[in-house]
Amino acid sequence: MRELRIAAVADIHLGEDLRGHYRKKIEGIERRADVLLVGGDLTRHGTIPEAQVVAEELSGLPIPVVAVLGNHDYHSDCDQEIIDLLRDAGIVVLDDEGTVVPIDGVRLGVAGGKGFGGGFAGKCASEFGEPETKAFVRHTKEIAERWRRALKELDADHKIVLSHYSPVKDTLMGEPPEIYPFLGSYMLAEAADAEGADLFIHGHAHAGTEKGVTPGGIRVRNVALPVIKHAYTVYCLNGDHC
Amino acid sequence: METPHYVAARVQRALAEDDRTTELGIRVDVRGEEVYLRGQVSCDERRHQIENVAREAAPGLRVHNEITLVEVREPGEEEHL
Ligand SMILES: [Fe+2]
Ligand SMILES: [Fe+2]
């Protein structure tokens, strides 16, 4: 099986002030990668004009683009419109579901969505007490459940989870520990570990670090733009050899 | 004088909630009359807007804009997993 070259980035936070800038940096991406994964926070305020800039910057590339939204993309309550707009531009947007991208006969499965917070095992919020607390925790639980199902149903040679929120603490190092519960949840890792995946890509933690691993041994990469400091990073998934 | 702790909290909330900035990742430290802003943004205009919003939220204090610009470089070396 041929090796797959996965380009990934998150937190591009585009707006009209940055029109054209990101596109310039990803020209020629097809020579370096087979697919581009974008891990949410595509915009700053989640408005339609900003989403249009995102569509312009990411559409018409010679390789497939798979994206999820981030918390910023929900800010103006236009998340569904943004998803439709991006899909119309030819971008695959995952909203708690999976997709299979065929690459030269190799099937790359990608599952995921925005994700959510709650914290990490031993120090996390639980579904107890006020309705607001329960709703917060339940949101993450339901997302994790949908991801688990999506991963299970993926018929693919390699599987990647694409998220905005983090599944582990490792990649949050550099962020204040007080805000960890707002940066991710162990439930996202648990879903991936239950069904298995080759890689877990996320963003959101601008001050975090790139590399981590789930309790079950899945490699985690935080590709937030301020973390990777490049237009994207390329991860090669091993075929028979590299 | 207002407690620096609450000034920092107000500035941080303003930076997150004001439509001109919506920046969640800016560290705000207040020491006496001085306000320090740290973090990374992607263009100069955003850096200045953050300073403006912080000044409005902390009138009378000296704002030090120590925010740096993220320079988005061309893709580097790939990682083999
Ligand atoms: Fe972000
Ligand atoms: Fe985010």
Please tell me the distance from the alpha carbon of residue A135 to that of residue A141, in angstroms, as a whole number: 10
Domain A4-237: CATH class, spelled out: alpha beta
Question: Nearest 5°: CA angle at A201, between A19 and A46?
Answer: 40
Mutate to test the interface with A, among B13, B73, B74 (most CBs of A within 10 A): B74
Out of A156-170, B13-27, B66-80, the most confident range is A156-170
Domain count, chain B: 1
Q: Do A72 and B43 touch (CB under 8 A)?
A: no
Contacts of A44 in chain B (CB under 8 A): 22
Among all ligands shown, which has an atom nearest to the Cα of B41?
Answer: 1
Distance from CA of B57 to the nearest CA of A (A): 20
Residue A242 reports pLDDT greater than 60: no
Q: How many CB atoms neighbour CB A217 within 10 A?
A: 8
Helix (H) or strand (E) holding A140: helix A131-153
Contacts of B46 in chain A (CB under 8 A): 17
pLDDT digits (tens, 9 = 90+) for A11-60: 999 999 889 999 999 999 999 999 999 999 999 999 999 999 999 999 99
Mean pLDDT within A60-77: 97
Mean pLDDT lowest for which of A36-45, B1-10, B13-22?
Answer: B1-10
At A233 the pLDDT is 97
Please tell me the distance from the alpha carbon of residue A159 to that of residue A161, in angstroms, as a whole number: 7
Instruction: Please report whether residue B77 resides in a domain.
Output: no
Contacts of B38 in chain A (CB under 8 A): none
Mean pLDDT within A103-112: 96
Q: Which domain holds residue B43?
A: 4-66
At A217 the pLDDT is 96
Please tell me the distance from the alpha carbon of residue A209 to that of residue A178, in angstroms, as a whole number: 17
Distance from CA of B59 to the nearest CA of A (A): 26
Mean pLDDT within A152-160: 97
Whether A17 contacts chain B with CB within 8 A:
yes
Bridging pattern class, strands A233-237 and A219-222: unpaired
pLDDT digits (tens, 9 = 90+) for A113-148: 999 999 998 878 888 899 999 999 999 999 999 999
Residues 4-63 of chain B with CB under 8 A from chain A are 19, 22, 24-25, 39-40, 42-43, 45-46
Residue A64 reports pLDDT greater than 50: yes
Rounded to the nearest 10 degrees, how much is the dihedral formed by the CA atoms of A199, A205, A209, A214? -40
At B75 the pLDDT is 83
3-state secondary structure of A55: helix
Q: Do B78 and A199 touch (CB under 8 A)?
A: no
At A171 the pLDDT is 98
At B77 the pLDDT is 81
Q: Do B72 and A235 touch (CB under 8 A)?
A: no
Q: Do A234 and B79 touch (CB under 8 A)?
A: yes
Residue B70 reports pLDDT greater than 90: no
Contacts of B71 in chain A (CB under 8 A): 229
Phi, psi of A175 (to 5 degrees): -85, 150
Distance from CA of B46 to the nearest CA of A (A): 9
Please tell me the distance from the alpha carbon of residue A182 to that of residue A222, in angstroms, as a whole number: 15
User: Which is nearest to A85 in space by CA: A113, A117, A122, A58?
Assistant: A58
Instruction: Please report whether residue B15 resides in a domain.
Output: yes
Residue B47 reports pLDDT greater than 90: yes
Please tell me the distance from the alpha carbon of residue B26 to that of residue A134, in angstroms, as a whole number: 29
pTM for the model stands at 0.93
Whether A19 contacts chain B with CB within 8 A:
no
Mean pLDDT within B9-38: 93
- Angstrom CA distances, A6 to A30, A194, A240, stand at 11, 23, 16
Distance from CA of B79 to the nearest CA of A (A): 5
Distance of CA A91 to the CA centre of its chain: 14
Please tell me the distance from the alpha carbon of residue B15 to that of residue B24, in angstroms, as a whole number: 7
Instruction: Please report whether residue B76 resides in a domain.
Output: no
Assigned token pair, A97: 């579901």
One-letter identity of residue A4: L
Contacts of A229 in chain B (CB under 8 A): 70-73
Residue B74's pLDDT band, with cuts at 50, 70 and 90, is confident
CATH of the domain at B23: 3.40.1520.20
pLDDT digits (tens, 9 = 90+) for A178-231: 999 999 999 999 999 999 999 999 999 999 999 999 999 999 999 999 999 999
Distance from CA of B40 to the nearest CA of A (A): 7
At A240 the pLDDT is 52
Instruction: Please report whether residue B78 resides in a domain.
Output: no
Residue A239's pLDDT band, with cuts at 50, 70 and 90, is low
For chain B, the DSSP string reads ---HHHHHHHHHHHHHHSTTT--S--EEEEETTEEEEE-EESSHHHHHHHHHHHHHHSTTSEEEE--EE---BPP---EE-
End-to-end CA distance of chain A: 11
- Angstrom CA distances, A48 to A5, A16, A21, stand at 31, 11, 19
Instruction: Please report whether residue B74 resides in a domain.
Output: no
Please tell me the distance from the alpha carbon of residue A111 to that of residue A99, in angstroms, as a whole number: 6
